[in-house]
Amino acid sequence: MKKRILGAVIMFIAVCPAVLVVFTQIRYSRIRETEAETIVAGYLDSRIEGNPSSALVIHCTGQKPMKVLWDCATVADALKSVGEGEELTVKIHPRGQYVISIRCGERTILSFDSSLRSMRTERNGFLMIALACYLLLILLWISPFLQKRAARHRSDP
């Protein structure tokens, strides 16, 4: 039974990092500003979903709700000064489907560059978690060998 549980733990630790790496490479992949989908629409309203750092949902005329994942409080404060119906230029990440840039006229509400920095930080965080899981997997894999070796050394006079 103990080997079965250890095997399940090892499989879980082996699969999780692979899923994290694939997820982060797709969702937070680097793009150039010209690759982003550009939407120009009239602003309706916005609200923060979940806890304060989760996501800011923006509603615009004729568009499905758009999510801002970074700098939510700052963007929400900046959007308070935008009147209903004012035209926003929003850039959406083509693979992740989240907002990476918002402009209202000449004013930048969410900078493309700051979104890229936040995206890189988030991606690196997920990769560090994956690396830690792989290190744990290696430790779990070699621990039986180390235990056998230690037992042999204890039994040798």
Query: Whole-prediction pTM value?
Result: 0.71
CA distance 67 to 56: 6
**Chain segment 25-72, per-residue pLDDT in tens:** 777 778 888 999 999 999 999 988 876 567 899 999 999 999 998 888
Mean pLDDT score of the chain, rounded to an integer?
Answer: 83
CA distance 18 to 2: 25
Percentage of residues in the chain having pLDDT higher than 70: 94
How distant is the alpha carbon of residue 57 from its chain centre? 16
